[in-house]
């Protein structure tokens, strides 16, 4: 009988089970955990789970697991697991304990909590924002083609006014949605927060500043403007901005009247004040009366406070920040257009991009357009271009796993404008990608800046489908095309992997990696020669054959699971063992064969033994960072070596001073071709003594 563990079950086990979960939510691509103890998680084990694109430890006990577009389904399945349902009460109780712990975590935890509050207030709205942005893109395309003039309600007629309502509902009532999420995040009744914010969007409140028009003289065609509440409301015109502001006198006190549709800062500020009030009322009011009097007192306190004070503050704050960015955009458009796309690659992984997204919405509400999304498009398409470059190389290298990852990420980006699958599935795993992607960001931003900047008529996710929203459209197309192409070409020409990563990936696949385009012919010849030798004398591959592999150095034997690097300890590269060297460090060939990988850094050697065993000897952990310092290399790629021949001498003092582990993994990279690879040594071992025993398949 076999037991199959599903992806949701494997994830739950990997994070320490339901009892270790304080809180679980998700965004467009990631499961977001808050745990009692995040130290129990093995990052490599998580990333080995089918369907997981990456794992991202965060400060405190927060942890993110990247799933991609299927995150909603995985989240739902996890929440429906019996273990999660059983621990539901404990999770609620743990939220209180987590809040207490967060107070003791210090300054960074407060900052993290602040940005998490912003992010969690917006993240659940991603699906509706995406859906609305596609309707907007469709309208913009019709407008650009001259089919319908969407800027003139009278001209477009009732049908298209109705279509407008399909997306305007999302953006006009956005403050209500944000208030709900923010209240839920701060563990108070989300409907109380929703009702308080909704009060400022009711027809009753809006009527305070509405105007009625009366004809001053019969048949004259001249109209005078009269406020419905003319004795209680006064309005003034700002001649500089061309805007009108009204103040109502409520209970004899002045209240600034604003249109709160589309505002996002106001609900965030309001809920942040409401939360301590609500929890304080819960402590003061007896339990059997809380259902009535906690909402009642919250309403009568917070609705006036929001209308008189917090609402205007939120509007002023948003307008001030927007005005500052608008000044920079108009005064130094090239600088602005370059800085924005260069910032986003660092903001998005940390979830710090949401404040800028909020400013985009404020710009649209106050200015009628946004100027941040255009330069932001340069970042998104540079990100997608880098992914496209990885996809091209994956197809060339016949890397099935990376091809699937890059294909999905590229589709999510180009069609949905979502960058997280690219970032977490690929870019943050390979350090060579970011510098090349940033060049694409800078090139795209420079073009946008030189062109005088861009305007977006509404908030959208920058994808191929939303191009018509931007004006001038031609400038936007040129900018994002340049960003995409630059990043893609740089990745294709220079590769996204270091030599070590190429060697490790090739070794994991049971083959060798080509170091660069100019080495291709030499590598192919080398592989052919090694294959010929293996085919002629592959004793280790003959059915039932037992082959012993000697230790390449003197030291203490370490089980592979105890090697301090998850890439090796999980067996992803191959089965084997570790040897921690003692005394003078001299690494030798365990048997006769051909050196197929020997980077200039001297830290790793791939050897195809004549008997058919393929070995990787990785001298130390992370020693590639020494760039060859302390390594006296004796061989090069393509050399024939005999048993006991020196590969490298290592200066122990240099490595230890740098703080790197000297534990040396000795791995059989073509493990899949054998029935078993066993560690037979223990304790100390001499050079040439048997370390591993390999048994061929029957």
Q: Which residues are catalytic?
A: 27, 618
Distance CA 587, CA 227 (A): 90
Which ranges constitute the DSSP H helices of 538-638?
566-569
Distance CA 181, CA 193 (A): 9
Distance CA 365, CA 33 (A): 34
Q: Which of 261, 242, 25 is nearest to 120 (CA)?
A: 25
Residue 92: CB atoms within 10 Å: 12
Distance CA 192, CA 557 (A): 63
Paired tokens of 378: 């340069």
Distance CA 182, CA 180 (A): 6
Distance CA 598, CA 225 (A): 84
Paired tokens of 632: 């006296």
Judge whether 53 and 69 are in contact, CB under 8 Å: no
Q: Which of 500, 629, 615 is nearest to 553 (CA)?
A: 615
Q: Which of 571, 553, 552 is nearest to 563 (CA)?
A: 571
Paired tokens of 607: 């050897």
Q: Measured on CA atoms in the order 538, 541, 546, 552, is the torsion positive or negative?
A: positive
Report the b/e string of 282-316 with b at 16+ CB within 10 A. Answer: eeebeeeeeeeebbebbeebbbebbbeebbbebbe
- 183 φ, ψ (degrees, to nearest 5): -65, -40
Which ranges constitute the DSSP H helices of 231-372?
265-284, 290-305, 311-331, 333-347, 354-367
């Amino acid at each position: 009988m076999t037991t199959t563990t599903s992806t949701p079950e494997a994830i739950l086990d990997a994070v320490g089970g339901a009892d270790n979960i304080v809180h679980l939510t998700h965004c467009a691509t990631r499961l977001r955990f808050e745990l009692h103890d995040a130290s129990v998680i093995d990052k490599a084990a998580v990333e080995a789970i089918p369907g997981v694109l990456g794992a991202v430890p965060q400060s405190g006990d927060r942890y993110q697991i990247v799933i991609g577009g299927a995150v909603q389904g995985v989240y739902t399945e996890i929440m429906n697991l019996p273990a999660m349902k059983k621990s539901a009460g404990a999770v609620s109780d743990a939220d209180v304990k987590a809040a207490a712990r967060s107070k003791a975590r210090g300054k960074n935890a407060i900052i993290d909590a602040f940005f998490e509050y912003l992010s969690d207030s917006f993240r659940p709205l991603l699906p509706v924002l995406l859906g609305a942005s596609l309707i907007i893109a469709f309208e913009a395309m019709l407008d650009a083609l001259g089919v319908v003039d969407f800027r003139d309600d009278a001209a477009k007629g009732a049908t298209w006014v109705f279509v407008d309502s399909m997306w305007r509902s999302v953006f006009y009532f956005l403050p209500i949605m944000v208030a709900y999420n923010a209240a839920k995040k701060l563990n108070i009744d989300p409907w109380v927060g929703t009702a308080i914010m909704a009060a400022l969007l009711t027809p009753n409140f809006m009527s305070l500043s509405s105007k009625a028009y009366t004809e001053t003289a019969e048949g004259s065609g001249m109209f005078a403007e009269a406020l419905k509440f003319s004795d209680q409301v006064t309005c003034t015109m700002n001649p500089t901005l061309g805007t009108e502001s009204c103040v109502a006198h409520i209970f004899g006190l002045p209240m600034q009247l604003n249109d709160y549709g589309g505002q996002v800062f106001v609900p965030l500020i309001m809920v942040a004040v409401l939360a301590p009030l609500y929890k304080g009322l819960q402590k003061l009011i007896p339990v059997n009366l809380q259902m009535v009097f906690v909402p009642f007192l919250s309403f009568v306190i917070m609705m006036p406070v929001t209308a008189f004070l917090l609402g205007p503050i939120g509007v002023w704050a948003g307008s001030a920040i927007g005005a500052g960015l608008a000044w920079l955009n108009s005064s130094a458009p090239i600088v602005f257009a370059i800085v924005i796309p260069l910032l986003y690659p660092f903001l998005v992984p940390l979830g710090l991009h949401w404040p800028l997204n909020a400013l985009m919405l404020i710009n649209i509400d106050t200015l009628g357009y946004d100027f941040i999304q255009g330069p932001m498009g340069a970042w998104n398409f540079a990100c997608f271009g880098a992914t496209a470059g990885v996809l091209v190389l994956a197809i060339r290298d016949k890397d099935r796993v990376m091809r699937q990852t890059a294909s999905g990420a590229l589709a999510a980006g180009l069609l949905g404008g979502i960058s997280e699958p690219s970032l977490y599935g690929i870019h943050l795993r390979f350090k060579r990608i970011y510098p090349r992607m940033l060049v694409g960001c800078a090139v795209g931003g420079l073009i946008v800046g030189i062109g005088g900047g861009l305007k977006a008529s509404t908030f959208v996710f920058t994808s191929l489908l939303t191009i018509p929203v931007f004006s001038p459209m031609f400038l936007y197309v040129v900018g994002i095309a340049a960003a995409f192409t630059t990043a893609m070409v740089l990745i294709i020409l220079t590769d996204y992997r270091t030599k070590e990563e190429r060697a490790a990936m090739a070794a994991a696949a049971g083959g060798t990696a080509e170091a660069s385009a100019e080495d291709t012919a030499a590598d192919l010849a080398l592989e052919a020669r090694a294959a010929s030798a293996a085919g002629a004398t592959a004793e280790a591959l003959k059915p039932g054959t037992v082959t012993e592999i000697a230790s390449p150095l003197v030291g203490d034997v370490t089980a592979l699971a105890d090697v301090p690097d998850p890439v090796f300890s999980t067996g992803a590269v191959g089965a084997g063992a570790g040897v921690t060297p003692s005394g003078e460090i001299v690494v030798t060939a365990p048997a006769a064969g051909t050196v197929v990988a020997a980077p200039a850094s001297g830290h790793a050697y791939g050897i195809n033994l004549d008997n058919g065993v393929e070995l990787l000897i990785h001298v130390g952990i992370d020693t590639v960072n020494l760039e060859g310092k302390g390594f006296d290399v004796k061989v090069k790629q393509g050399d024939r070596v005999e048993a006991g021949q020196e590969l490298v001498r290592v200066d122990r003092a240099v490595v230890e001073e740098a703080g790197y582990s000297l534990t040396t993994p000795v791995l059989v990279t073509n493990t899949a071709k054998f029935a078993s690879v066993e560690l037979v040594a223990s304790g100390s071992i001499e050079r040439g003594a048997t370390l591993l025993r390999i048994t061929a398949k029957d």
